[in-house]
Amino acid sequence: MIDLFFHGGPVMYPLLACSILVLTVVIERLFFWASVDFTRNRQLIEDVLELCRQGDWEAVRARVSGSKDFIVRVLVSGILHREFSMTKAMEATAAEEIRNMRRYMGVLDTMITVAPLLGIFGTVIGIIGSFEALGTAGIDQPQAVTAGIAQALITTAAGLGIAILSVFPYNYFNSKVEKAVLNIEKYATSLEIVYEKLEGKPEASEP
């Protein structure tokens, strides 16, 4: 691998930086999503909705204390602003949560595009070097020409490899975000329905 790296020419250095950047983002996002999955508490969400049906806001406050579930944070935001605009409050909190989930995704997207382009750039440089060697040494020294062609192939392969390996985690993380969005919409809508029904009941308690 080290020999291939040095035979790939100067373009291998930015490609190495791209690969390190991709690896860093993937590891960070894996830890982030592991933390998100660890803090998920579906039972707590159901309990919150049930307490909201009863209009027991103080019990909701006590029940969600210390929770790091992102859906609970969205619901609590709506509950706290229920007398003003529950929907807008949840939308604002949900937007912030989704923004955190999409963090660094642009980096992966950029690397998927940039890495193959760098590989092609290295290919062009290698072919130019081959033609220069051919003009200088002539056909009597084919090794001078093949060295440039080898450089071209190495950079192309490296660029494509980085892009291909970036696509899989990029799509995986995107699917996680989409699933989170659907869950937020599902439970936010449930809370809105519960509160609308509760508003029609004169016995609903206030905090």
In a domain, 126, yes or no: no
- Residue 188 maps to a domain: yes
Q: Given a cut of 80, is residue 153 above it in pLDDT?
A: yes
Mean pLDDT of the chain: 84
Query: Within a domain: residue 46?
Result: yes
Domain-located, residue 57: yes
The mean per-residue pLDDT over the stretch 23-44 comes to 92
pTM flag (> 0.75): yes
* Domain range enclosing 60: 2-113+169-199
- Residue 162, domain member (yes or no): no
Q: Has residue 123 been placed in a domain?
A: no
- Between these two residues, 151 and 61, which has the higher pLDDT value? 61
Number of independent structural domains in the chain = 1
pLDDT value, residue 195: 83
Average pLDDT over residues 146-150: 68
The reply to whether 173 falls in a domain is yes
In a domain, 139, yes or no: no
**Conformational region of residue 141, where left means phi above 0, alpha means psi within -120 to 50, and beta covers everything else:** beta
Residue 173, CA distances (Å) to 26, 28, 37, 69, 104 in order: 9, 11, 13, 18, 10
- Judged against a pLDDT cut of 80, whether residue 158 lies above it is answered with yes
